[in-house]
Structure 1
Amino acid sequence: MTADTLAAPRSPQVRKKGANLEKWGWVYMRASGVLLVVLIFGHLFVNLMLGEGIKGIDFAFVAGKFASPFWQWWDVLMLWLALIHGANGMRTIVNDYVTNATARKVLVWALWLSAGLLILLGTLVVFTFDPCLGVTADSMLWETCQG
């Protein structure tokens, strides 16, 4: 039997030793999907339903949320789960449709590299956000940042 043919449905399957990464990827997609639904709807509810709704979302609103460790971790968890979930989904699509092994490997590496870079940058933004950075005397935030 060649690599291009499928085994008979009831034939015994030989599995490689070690961790079954495809199984854990499948489990991750289900678990992260459920958690993302909770995180995203919580995010939307707080941002759009409480307070003034969409009219209340401005720089001060974001600065106030990022001043709280609870909301920092909420947003970072949402960011991490969403990016890893999306990259894993794209990896599955690449594995399904890209037949050239070298191209598949390059694309999967590019996916994980870009997801990792976005996770790193997004995490840095959330935890190092300073609304007073670069504020000058002619800014609306000058008085707030002086206190």
Structure 2
Amino acid sequence: MANTEIQAPRSGRIDPKYNRAKTSRGSFEMLAWLFMRLSGVALVVLIFGHLFANLMVGDGINGLDFGFVAGKWADPVWQFWDLALLWLAMLHGTNGIRTIINDYAEKALTRVWLKGILYVATAVIIVLGTLVIFTFDPCLVDANNVPLPGAICHA
């Protein structure tokens, strides 16, 4: 039986012009790795707290409506809770997708474009979500300044 050598999975398949730079980014990658672990633990607490407050307390899923959200976001604690959930979930997911892009996009220009699109989308969602949480007004009015049905307006 002949002695055969098994080549590395990608050996001979990648054109040398697509090889990545040999520079080390260990410090950033270590912080990103640590962030994923810490944010994952925090997200578990935030998500289960969110689910418990929304589904187990009160009328459960039947009680989820505009008024429920208005009442919940009238409390700064829930505004902060949902804000932390939004920011951590988006940053955790973005970091995970960034890692996938680094692993699978072979061309440097492709990585730059994909990560650029990812970062812009993340920023837009975080900004819009933050604005919704802090500018939410439960008193919806029509063009004549008359409250709409279901609106929660305090006199």
- TM-score bucket of the superposed structures, by smaller chain: 0.7 to 0.9
Counterpart for residue 149 of structure 2:
140
**For the structure 1 residues 146 and 29, does the alpha-carbon distance in structure 2 shift closer, same or farther, using more than 3 Å as the test?**
closer
Instruction: Report the AA paired with residue 153 of structure 2.
Output: C
Cα contact 2:140–2:147 (8 A) shared by 1 = no
Offset, 1:112:
1.0
Counterpart for residue 53 of structure 1:
60
Query: Per the alignment, in what secondary structure is the counterpart of residue 127 of structure 2?
Result: helix
Instruction: Report the AA paired with residue 122 of structure 2.
Output: A
Counterpart for residue 7 of structure 2:
none
Matched, 1:122 2:132: no
**For the structure 1 residues 38 and 138, does the alpha-carbon distance in structure 2 shift closer, same or farther, using more than 3 Å as the test?**
closer
Offset, 1:133:
3.5
Poorly superposed stretches of 4+, deviation over 3 Å: 2-5, 135-138
Instruction: Report the AA paired with residue 118 of structure 1.
Output: I
Pair member with larger Rg: 2
Query: Per the alignment, in what secondary structure is the counterpart of residue 153 of structure 2?
Result: helix
| 1:67-90 CA-partner distances (Å, limit 9, x unpaired) | 110000000000000000001000
Matched, 1:28 2:35: yes
Q: What is the alpha-carbon distance in structure 2 between the residues aligned to residue 112 and residue 138 of structure 1? A: 39
Counterpart for residue 106 of structure 2:
99
Q: What is the alpha-carbon distance in structure 2 between the residues aligned to residue 33 and residue 116 of structure 1? A: 20
Identical pairs, percent = 51
Instruction: Report the AA paired with residue 137 of structure 1.
Output: V
The gaps in structure 1 that reach 5 residues or longer are 6-13
Q: What is the alpha-carbon distance in structure 2 between the residues aligned to residue 119 and residue 82 of structure 1? A: 10
Q: What is the alpha-carbon distance in structure 2 between the residues aligned to residue 85 and residue 76 of structure 1? A: 14
Matched, 1:85 2:92: yes
Aligned pairs, number: 136
- Please tell me the root mean square deviation across aligned C-alpha atoms, in Å: 2.3
Counterpart for residue 73 of structure 2:
66
Q: What is the alpha-carbon distance in structure 1 between the residues aligned to residue 35 and residue 87 of structure 2? A: 12
The gaps in structure 2 that reach 5 residues or longer are 1-15
Counterpart for residue 8 of structure 1:
none
Q: Give the TM-score taking structure 2 as reference length.
A: 0.79
Q: Give the TM-score taking structure 1 as reference length.
A: 0.84
